[in-house]
Structure 1
Amino acid sequence: MAFEDEKYDVTSPSASTMDGAATPTHTAFSDDEYAGMDPRFSKASTSATPETVPWPGNKFVIRERASGRAIALVDGELRLSSWDCAGDRGAHWICEEKDGWLGFRNPVSNTYMGKDNQGNFYAKANWHKAWECFCAMRHPEGGYILLMRNWGELLKMAVGKDGCKLVTTRDEGTVWEFLKL
C-alpha cells in the first residue's frame, strides 16, 4: 500500500478537526488488480467502457449488465439479443425527454420502446406517451434499473424466463448499461 502526503504529522494541530479528533493526513492506494485502472471505468462491468448516464439527445445501445446482450428490434420484435457492434442499428436507441420522462426511439423503425397491458415490452408506438415513459434509477453496483409508468406505480423492466423476452416486474428488475454511440 502506498501513501500520499506522509510528510504531515498527525499530532499537529493542523491535522485535526475542531473537536481534536485526528484527521487523516494521507491517501491510501490499494495494490490490488485495479490499482492502475482509470476510475471512470466500472470494475464490475462486462466491458471496459465508461459508465454512461442515459440522457436525452444521445444515442445508446442498452445492454444487460450481466450478459452484455442488448435490447434490440429483431424481426420487428423487442428482444434481448447478442449485439454486433459493427453496425446492428436494431440495437440503437435515441433517448428523448417528454414532461420529465425518458423515451427510447429506434432510429431504423422510428418507433418507441413501450409496454402493452399484459406486461410485455414492444417497440411499435409512433409516439412518446404514457406507455412509453421510462425513468432510470442508478443501481448501487453500477448500471441502471429501467422503470416504466403503470398507472400509479413504477414497474421494472426485466428479462423474461425465456432469456430473451422483456417483461415488467415488481421484483428486482434487470440491471442495464448504456453505451453511448
Structure 2
Amino acid sequence: MGLDNLEPRPLSETDSSTANTPPSSVTDTLNALDPLNDFAPSPPSSSVPWPNSTFIIRCLSSGHVLTLIDGKVRLAPPGGRASIYWACVETKGWLGFRNVSSGKYLGYGPRGNLICVADRHQNWENFCVRLRPDGGYVLLVTEWERLWHVGMKMVRGVEILAKVGEGGSDGVVWEFVRV
C-alpha cells in the first residue's frame, strides 16, 4: 500500500488517539514568551551597529549620549550644540565611528582617554561592539591583541570616557539609535 493512498480520517469524540491539550493559561504563557509570536514584547529601541549607518550612541544608565563638543568626547544630555551623530564604518573587519560634523574618527589617545582627532580609521580607532545577554552593548577598543572596555574613569576629579579594563564588566552599557 503506497503513501498516496492514505487519507486523513476524522477523529471521533470517542477516539482515544487524541493528544492532550494544555490548559489555555499554559498556552497563553508560552505564546507570550515566544519571540516569534505576535504576543511577544516589543523589540528594544536599540539597533545593531552596522557599517554604512549613522547612530546616536546613548549610555543606558544615564540616558546621556556620546558627543563631540569643542573638540572633546563627552557624555552629555541630548540637545544643545554638541555633535551627536556617528557614522559607522568598517575597515579590515573592525568597526569605526566617524563624527558626522567633524569628519574625525573616535579613538583613544596615549593615556587611554577617548578622543576624536584621526583623519583615518586606523588601529587606535578600531572598535568591537558586543551584545550583552541582558540588553545593550559594550563597546570595546583594541590595543595590540587585547580588547578593552570603553567606560568612565576619573581624571583630576572629572569623569571622562576612556578604555578602562580588559574583560570583565567595567564598561558602559550602550544603545545604538539608528538615524
TM-score grouping bracket, smaller chain normalisation: 0.7 to 0.9
Query: Could you tell me which residue of structure 2 aligns to residue 174 of structure 1?
Result: 172
Q: Is residue 2:142 matched to residue 1:142? A: no
Query: Could you tell me which residue of structure 2 aligns to residue 91 of structure 1?
Result: 84
What is the TM-score when the length of structure 1 is the normalising length? Answer: 0.73
Count of paired positions: 149
When structure 1 is superposed on structure 2, of 165-174 and 146-155 the one drifting more is 165-174
Residues 59-104 of structure 1 show CA distances to partners (whole Å, capped at 9, x for unaligned) of 10001000110110011101111111xx856110000011111000
What is the TM-score when the length of structure 2 is the normalising length? Answer: 0.74
Counterpart of 1:80 (choices 75, 83, 86) is 75
Please state whether the residue corresponding to 1:90 is helix, strand or coil: coil
Q: What's the RMSD between the two structures over aligned residues? A: 2.7
Query: Could you tell me which residue of structure 1 aligns to residue 105 of structure 2?
Result: 112
- Please give the residue correspondences for 1:9-158 in structure 2 after superposition, counting only pairs within 5 Å: 14=19, 26-28=27-29, 39-42=41-44, 50-84=45-79, 90-158=83-151
Q: Distance in 2 between matches of 1:102 and 1:144?
A: 14
Gapped runs of 5+ residues in structure 1?
1-10, 17-24, 31-35, 43-49
* Identity fraction in percent: 35
Ranges of 4+ aligned residues in structure 1 off by more than 6 Å: none
Which amino acid is the alignment partner of residue 176 of structure 1?
A: W
Q: Is the 8 A contact 2:60 2:174 kept in 1?
A: yes
Gapped runs of 5+ residues in structure 2?
1-15, 33-37
Asked which structure has the greater CA Rg, the reply is 2
